[in-house]
Structure 1
Amino acid sequence: MAFQVLVLNQISSKGLERLPAGSYVTGKDIAQPDAILVRSADMHGMDIPASVLAIGRCGAGTNNIPVKAMNARGVPVFNAPGGNANAVKELVLAGMLMAARNLPQAQRFVHELPPSDDIDKQVEEGKKAFAGSELAGQTLGVIGLGKVGCLVADAAIKLGMNVMGFDPHITVDAAWSLPSQVKKATSVEDVLKNSAFVSLHVPLVDATKHLVNRDNIRLMKPEAVLLNFSREGVVDEAAAVQALDGRQLGWYVCDFPSGAILRHPRIIALPHLGASTREAEDNCAVMVAEQLRDYLEHGNITNAVNFPAVAMPRESNWRVAIANANVPNMIGQISTAMANAGLNIHDMVNKSRGDMAYTVLDVDSPVPDSVLAAIRNISGVLGVRYLPAQP
């Protein structure tokens, strides 16, 4: 039987090609899908069929997916961290240049010039109002040093900027990729106070909502540029507008237009273009399709936002994958169910992440339905999948 994959948005053909015909059927009208591929469609009001085993988000953020509800069903939600990182990095650089050189105002000035014989004279007289500053020698503060933040820091250094960064939860991989020239900041306030440009690259969670707010935005330099290409709620828009109107901030550049900031002369609001490049869409779709396939066929998990990472090479033809609540004695009960049926566990991996745990077992012989049913009946087990090797 081929896996059925429901596609909610236009997904890059390069990604869909990673789900081979014959083994996978993809489409927008699949009633009982095994998996769902999505980009921006809001799934919170969607009746997600019980048949769904996994959801793949072709991008980094998963705010449009009911992740907590999927936790309760034992359904992993995959994403593509870093797949659009270069696209976002380039847009951040564009935002810095637009603000530093007053490009939106300058372009508007030229656009509104009346056709005349003395247009050269008008340009020469008018351009004085748009004199800007160069990036080289300026200080960029980066808050959030994941894949995008590290790329932004590296690009800024190559442009001759000084860079300071802050991330209390930096990963080992990010630390290795961070340029050595980046000065370590001690706090968000440290970055805001000492930077001519501040670029935000953090997820929107309770701890980062209004990370930049009325209390700390006043620490920024009057001509400073605040760039938000992470999530709308990371910046208190009202505080940004107030700071701009009070000449306590130079520019606010973001990727999230709203009624509160439209047509403000010192705000550059772009229509959520961060990941909107052909390359980024291809990269994200390929990453997620490959992760989805590895999970559906082998039970391995890479880049799931709600499950631990688990990858185990196959060493037998019979594999069982179990999603369960992270509670004591779960492995003991699973092992007992196998032993009672005379089954030998050849290899096993068990990992947890918060309240969720995930176990993959390779068994030396076929696993009867009665054993799978016994495991499903263990209190706390959310889902059991039997994955015999395909001929």
Structure 2
Amino acid sequence: MSTIIVNEMKTVKTLNNIAENGLKVLQKGKFVIDNNSDHPDAILLRSFNMHGMELSTNIKAIARAGAGVNNIPVDTCTEKGIVVFNTPGANANAVKEMVLMSLMTSSRNLFDGITWTKSLENQGEQIPKLVEAGKKQFVGNEIKGKTLGVIGLGAIGALVANDALSLDMDVIGYDPYLSVDTAWNLSRNVQRAMTLDQVFAESDYITVHVPLTPDTKGMFNKEAFQLMKKGTQILNFSRGELVNEVDMAVALEEGTIGRYITDFPNEDVLKMKNTIAIPHLGASTEESEENCAVMAARQVKEFLETGNIKNSVNFPNASIPYVGKKRVTAFHLNIPNMVGQITQVISHFQLNIADMVNRSRGEYAYTMIDIDNHVADEVVPLLANKLKEIDGMVVTRVI
């Protein structure tokens, strides 16, 4: 299947409330926000569940103002040639602050202490005496000098690791996929763990910041808990499914795990001993929502106007500086001779190539070609239709 798209006024539909500063990125005159449109060029959303939603053939891009894309049918979008964006790092500071706050307050038993104090209501003048008599049950521990294990050193994990060092903690980090950009931002004082088992064995506290994949699902399980120090505290602000909850319940009951702090409560979690269940507030700040909205809108704007891709979860990242020349973009199967066939079509119209990039991701690839010479308006649809005929082409645009 292939669709042909040429320049026109772009319509963007939002499926959730998107921060106003994000919408402002989509400048008037070039974009129209129309939430009643059945055939938008792009969709902006946060947590709206798109599974089962009919996807118009006119949709070119979907941007999630947040990191997780479980609410988007990514595989279907890929088959239809729809690029899906997320906003990694835009909510990193908000989550980091929540992790560090939870780390300190749980260590000092602050949540339990506050709940107990509230129960003293209506005790009148006896409250100060009751507080002094009862406070010993909430004696906690300082985090200074303790070891924090950070699993996943992306945008959030790196911030947590660096700030934990500033709190005089020892920090050990594990991330086999650590990027060069993240490494530049990571303190040299973060100790590098060569294996997950090393983090499990050496940490007093463990915080996890990895995506949910078949490899990470249930990574906190009976076998992992057996390697940990007795009383280890685990913080999970990534995905609930990273934890085997049956094994966690047993480990908490036996005291192998001292406390489980999670941003993903459910019926089983709420029944667990020594658990702090937070109502998914990790990224719930006004600043975070605005950052995510602005980042998502900019990615959509850049893609619709230039074809450049950054932070896609299904297309390869690819970009060429846009200088106003006609640009051909093609999303196609990653098979031999696709680029050759595309350039042959361009040569057929006596057009010269000024610049080109080709990037692949699994079974698919993305090609952008800038045309050096002027392209007459009447040639654009002919060029687009010729590209459409290439076997293995999914979607093309002439910008």
Does the alignment reach a TM-score above 0.5?
yes
Q: Spell out, residue by residue over 1:323-378, the C-alpha distance to the aligned partner (whole angstroms, 9 max, x if none).
A: 11111100100011111221211211111122221111111221432221111111
Match of 1:199, SS? strand
- 2:63 aligns with 56
Q: Where does structure 1 differ by over 4 angstroms across 4 or more consecutive aligned residues? A: none
- 2:4 aligns with none
- 1:134 aligns with 142
Q: Determine what percentage of the aligned residue pairs are the same residue.
A: 44
Deviation at 1:385, TM superposition (A): 0.7
- 1:8 aligns with 15
Larger CA deviation: 55-64 vs 22-31: 22-31
1:327 aligns with 2:339: no
- 1:162 aligns with 170
- 2:107 aligns with 100
Q: Which runs of 5+ in 1 are unaligned?
A: none
For residues 90 and 327 of structure 1, what CA distance do their matches in structure 2 show?
Answer: 45
2:204 partner amino acid: A
- 1:297 aligns with 305
- The answer as to whether partners of 1:315 and 1:346 remain within 8 angstroms in 2 is no
Deviation at 1:105, TM superposition (A): 1.0
1:240 aligns with 2:217: no
For residues 206 and 127 of structure 2, what CA distance do their matches in structure 1 show?
Answer: 37
For residues 29-44 of structure 1, the aligned pairs below 5 Å read 29-44=36-51
Match of 1:4, SS? strand
For residues 280 and 333 of structure 2, what CA distance do their matches in structure 1 show?
Answer: 37
- The answer as to whether partners of 2:161 and 2:190 remain within 8 angstroms in 1 is yes
For residues 324 and 135 of structure 1, what CA distance do their matches in structure 2 show?
Answer: 52
Deviation at 1:21, TM superposition (A): 1.5
2:21 partner amino acid: K
TM-score (ref. length: structure 1)? 0.97
Q: Spell out, residue by residue over 1:220-263, the C-alpha distance to the aligned partner (whole angstroms, 9 max, x if none).
A: 22221100011111111111111000111100001000110115
For residues 200 and 313 of structure 1, what CA distance do their matches in structure 2 show?
Answer: 37
Q: Spell out, residue by residue over 1:87-141, the C-alpha distance to the aligned partner (whole angstroms, 9 max, x if none).
A: 0000001111121001121011101114232111100010000000111101000
Q: Which runs of 5+ in 2 are unaligned?
A: 1-7
Among 365, 375, 379, which residue is 2:387 paired with? 375
Q: Spell out, residue by residue over 1:149-197, the C-alpha distance to the aligned partner (whole angstroms, 9 max, x if none).
A: 0000001000010000001111111111111111111211111111110
For residues 13 and 368 of structure 1, what CA distance do their matches in structure 2 show?
Answer: 36
- 1:81 aligns with 88
For residues 110-149 of structure 1, the aligned pairs below 5 Å read 110-114=117-121, 115-149=123-157
Q: RMSD between aligned alpha carbons? A: 1.2
For residues 315 and 244 of structure 1, what CA distance do their matches in structure 2 show?
Answer: 59
- 2:233 aligns with 225
* RCO higher in structure (CA 8 A, sep ≥6): 2
2:58 partner amino acid: S
1:349 partner amino acid: V
- The answer as to whether partners of 2:333 and 2:363 remain within 8 angstroms in 1 is yes
